[in-house]
A and B are shown apart, each in its own frame.
Chain A
Amino acid sequence: MRDVIQIKELTFTYPGGATIFEAFSWRVERGDAWAIIGPSGCGKSTLLYLLAGLRQPTAGQVLIDGQPLTRPRPRTGLILQDYGLLPWATVWDNAALGLRIRSFYGPDGVHTPSDEKFDDKGTRVDYWLRRLGIDHVAHQYPQQISGGQRQRAAIARTLVLRPDLLLMDEPFGALDALTREDLQNLTLELRAEQHLTSVIVTHNIEEAVFMGEKILVLGRPPNREAVVVYNPEAGGVGYRQRDSFFARCNELRELMGEDAREMA
């Protein structure tokens, strides 16, 4: 099966009454690099939480690998804007957290993949801290390191678990421009290296165009139809400087413009 994610006739309504999605369908193929963009309040984070199994649809289905999602799936990695690092654990312990939770439950197939091995825990953590260039801060606490390093720690924690699907919610939102580009490049590099399917949620047009080979544009809720912009040049070396990059950004800006004005 080529589809990693299938959303069929999804309806999602918040307990307060706001309907964010209504009979919404969308699919993601294996190896895709998606970006989801839209103004605040359009439901892009909600969609990501649905994909992560942290929220349940009001109606319709969210299928991952053909299976309906009822809880977080062990092979899905989620990275949030505020990194979600434990303030009381060192960078090393934070990166090891997922593995610790897995050995806490054992390979039960629910919290932990049934083929999980636990013998190389330390080596795996060390490898990813080195790979992300944060091994020198391994024994420091999150509040002692920079925002970029914290984001790298959050990525390390996710990749240690060998995911096949990577979900990111505004992961670079709080970083300065250079660190941001740096981490965008690194994420794309790791994506290719680990054969990951990725979905990144952002409100930043340039980020969506650089990171997403396919871009899902959400508008004022309820979202009924998946509006998709194809962007095959994404992630390429020097794409950020090319005219086609700016043209694509403008295309997206116009597409989003109407809804954004209506919502403001």
Chain B
Amino acid sequence: MKWRDAALGFVATLIIWQLLSLLINRPVFPPPTKVLVVFAQQITGDLGRHTLVSAGRVVAAIILAVLVAVPAGLGLGQIRTLNRVFSPLIYIVHPIPKIVFLPVILVLLGSGDGSKVFLIALILFFQILVVVRDEAADLRPELILSVRSIGAGRRALFRYVYLPASLPAVLTALRISVGTAVAVLFIAETYATTSGLGYYIIVESWGALRYAQMYAGVLAMSLLGLALYFAVDGLDRRLCPWREAG
């Protein structure tokens, strides 16, 4: 998506929002003009701090998930016996909505950043694991043989074949799951914490009936999701230029 399209989309959203708030005409649905003012006031203060905390948690979770899921996925994709042992387990655990483990994770990992990061990383982990595994299993044997024939052992194969081959899959998995990750973060941050956008929106704003401030938080959360999405897109263009060469 081009920046111009993004800007057009943003303007269109504001117009529809404004019309809806005129139509509904209740305090729970304030117009964007009001919200933008609050957003501008708070983003340099309280709201900005909560946004940074949330962003830090998502980014940490992404890094953790990638570091664990990529090698695991490559191993499953290339070593058939390993996949035979673990794939039934993955099929059972993958579809379980990981948010249901929130209470357990809160008890085990406490109310700090660790529990939130772990929960999001858990969701991303399975998404990345499955696509990287399939990508590694789909690599043509001729490609691997010919690279082995020019001297590559296990380490060089990993560096020059498996890693670049799975990179697009990792980015695709991230693009698909970043939205879910932010949504889960929102819920996780409404429990047992005093920082993050979830806390800001639900506890500090909704709980205190500060609707304009609540929407400022929603706006920040949307922008966080968008920024992550654009970051993944940018990484894709930078790291996988051959995908556009077609």
Query: Could you tell me which A residues sit within 8 Å of B by CB distance?
Result: 49, 52-54, 72, 74, 76-84, 86-90, 97-98, 100-102, 104-105, 110-112, 140-141, 143-144, 154, 157-158, 161
Q: What 4 pairs between A and B have smallest CB-CB spacing?
A: A84-B146, A78-B149, A98-B150, A111-B151
Which residue on chain A has the smallest CB distance to residue B245? A141
Which residue on chain B has the smallest CB distance to residue A167? B149
Bound state CA distance, A207 and B209, in angstroms?
A: 83
Whether the pair B145, A97 counts as a contact (CB closer than 8 A) is no
Bound state CA distance, A140 and B242, in angstroms?
A: 9
Bound state CA distance, A104 and B167, in angstroms?
A: 20
Q: Check: B159 CB closer than 8 A to any chain A CB.
A: yes
| Chain B residues, CB < 8 A from A84 | 142-143, 145-147
Bound state CA distance, A205 and B70, in angstroms?
A: 46
Bound state CA distance, A84 and B160, in angstroms?
A: 13
Q: Check: B152 CB closer than 8 A to any chain A CB.
A: yes
Which residue on chain A has the smallest CB distance to residue B151? A111
Q: Add 15 more A-B contacts to A76-B149, A89-B164, A98-B151 (CB < 8 A).
A: A53-B149, A77-B150, A78-B145, A78-B149, A79-B146, A80-B145, A82-B140, A82-B142, A86-B160, A86-B164, A88-B240, A97-B160, A100-B160, A105-B153, A111-B151
| Chain A residues, CB < 8 A from B242 | 87-90, 141, 143
1/0 contact string of B53-95 vs chain A (CB within 8 Å) = 0000000000000000000000000000000000000000000
Interface size on B, residues (CB 8 A): 24
| Chain B residues, CB < 8 A from A49 | 145
- The smallest beta-carbon distance between B93 and chain A, in angstroms, is 31
A104 touching B165 in the complex, CB below 8 Å, given contacts A84-B145, A144-B245: no
A104 touching B148 in the complex, CB below 8 Å, given contacts A84-B142, A86-B164, A87-B242: no
Whether the pair A88, B153 counts as a contact (CB closer than 8 A) is no
Can you show 9 pairs from A to B with CB atoms below 8 A apart?
A72-B149, A77-B150, A78-B145, A82-B142, A88-B165, A89-B164, A102-B151, A104-B156, A105-B153
| Chain A residues, CB < 8 A from B149 | 52-54, 72, 76-78
Which residue on chain A has the smallest CB distance to residue B240? A88
Whether the pair B152, A143 counts as a contact (CB closer than 8 A) is no
Among A49, A81, A141, max chain B CB count under 10 A is at: A141
Whether the pair B148, A54 counts as a contact (CB closer than 8 A) is yes
- The smallest beta-carbon distance between A90 and chain B, in angstroms, is 8
Whether the pair A54, B143 counts as a contact (CB closer than 8 A) is no
- The smallest beta-carbon distance between B131 and chain A, in angstroms, is 16
Whether the pair B148, A72 counts as a contact (CB closer than 8 A) is yes
Bound state CA distance, A104 and B154, in angstroms?
A: 12
1/0 contact string of B128-168 vs chain A (CB within 8 Å) = 00000000000010110111111111011001110011010
Which residue on chain A has the smallest CB distance to residue B148? A72
Q: Check: B246 CB closer than 8 A to any chain A CB.
A: yes
| Chain A residues, CB < 8 A from B246 | 143-144
| Chain A residues, CB < 8 A from B143 | 82, 84, 86
A74 touching B142 in the complex, CB below 8 Å, given contacts A86-B160, A100-B160, A111-B156: no
Whether the pair A101, B160 counts as a contact (CB closer than 8 A) is yes
| Chain A residues, CB < 8 A from B148 | 54, 72
Whether the pair B147, A97 counts as a contact (CB closer than 8 A) is yes
| Chain B residues, CB < 8 A from A89 | 164, 242
Which residue on chain A has the smallest CB distance to residue B156? A101
Query: CB < 8 Å: which of B146, B153, B159, B160 contacts A111?
Result: B153
Whether the pair A74, B151 counts as a contact (CB closer than 8 A) is yes
Bound state CA distance, A89 and B152, in angstroms?
A: 16
Whether the pair A101, B161 counts as a contact (CB closer than 8 A) is no
Among B140, B150, B153, max chain A CB count under 10 A is at: B150
| Chain B residues, CB < 8 A from A78 | 145-146, 149-150
Bound state CA distance, A81 and B145, in angstroms?
A: 12
Which residue on chain A has the smallest CB distance to residue B146? A84
A-facing residues in B151-197 (Cβ within 8 Å): 151-153, 155-156, 159-161, 164-165, 167
A-facing residues in B197-246 (Cβ within 8 Å): 240, 242, 245-246
Whether the pair B245, A143 counts as a contact (CB closer than 8 A) is yes
| Chain B residues, CB < 8 A from A157 | 150
Bound state CA distance, A100 and B245, in angstroms?
A: 23
Bound state CA distance, A54 and B149, in angstroms?
A: 7
Bound state CA distance, A84 and B150, in angstroms?
A: 11
| Chain B residues, CB < 8 A from A143 | 242, 245-246
Bound state CA distance, A81 and B242, in angstroms?
A: 22
Bound state CA distance, A79 and B142, in angstroms?
A: 10
Bound state CA distance, A90 and B242, in angstroms?
A: 8
Bound state CA distance, A258 and B152, in angstroms?
A: 41
A140 touching B146 in the complex, CB below 8 Å, given contacts A98-B151, A105-B153: no
